[in-house]
Amino acid sequence: MDCSEAGRKMEAFLRNELSIMDMRQYLRHIRECDACRSELELENIIRSAADETRTAECGYDFSHSLSDLIEERETRIRAYGFTTLLDLILSILIIGTIAAGIFL
């Protein structure tokens, strides 16, 4: 993902509307690219400051805000990966059971 694509995806990322694939690529870019990370950080602070429930929570200290957000998204990606793996194992078991039923 390049910077212009990351810029386009930022809005969707903040709204939590990116697909897991896009989110993974976006976060990878954010980790490597200081410019896009700063842009996201700034945008996140602006949004947090505009959201009264969040300013009440963190008392106008937004220093952990973005890392919390990124952590939350990464947890979602990991949870998704785990679910996909479980699905795969389950599918293999089902196919195995069906195959066993046919051939035995």
Question: Least distance to Zn ion from the beta carbon of 4, Å?
Answer: 8
Nearer Cβ to Zn ion (6/18): 6
* DSSP-derived secondary structure letter, 84: H
Site membership for Zn ion, residue 66 (CB under 5 A):
no
Task: Confirm if 83 and 75 have CB atoms less than 8 A apart.
Answer: no
Question: Least distance to Zn ion from the beta carbon of 27, Å?
Answer: 12
d(CA 7, CA 9) in angstroms, rounded, equals 5
Select the residue interacting with Zn ion from 3, 46, 92, 94 (CB under 5 A).
Answer: 3
Q: How far is CA 100 from CA 1, 16, 60, 89, 103, in A?
A: 45, 43, 62, 16, 5
Question: Least distance to Zn ion from the beta carbon of 2, Å?
Answer: 7
d(CA 95, CA 49) in angstroms, rounded, equals 52
Nearer Cβ to Zn ion (5/80): 5
Residues 20-59 that bind Zn ion (CB under 5 A): 33, 36
Residues contributing to the site for Zn ion (CB under 5 A): 3, 6, 33, 36
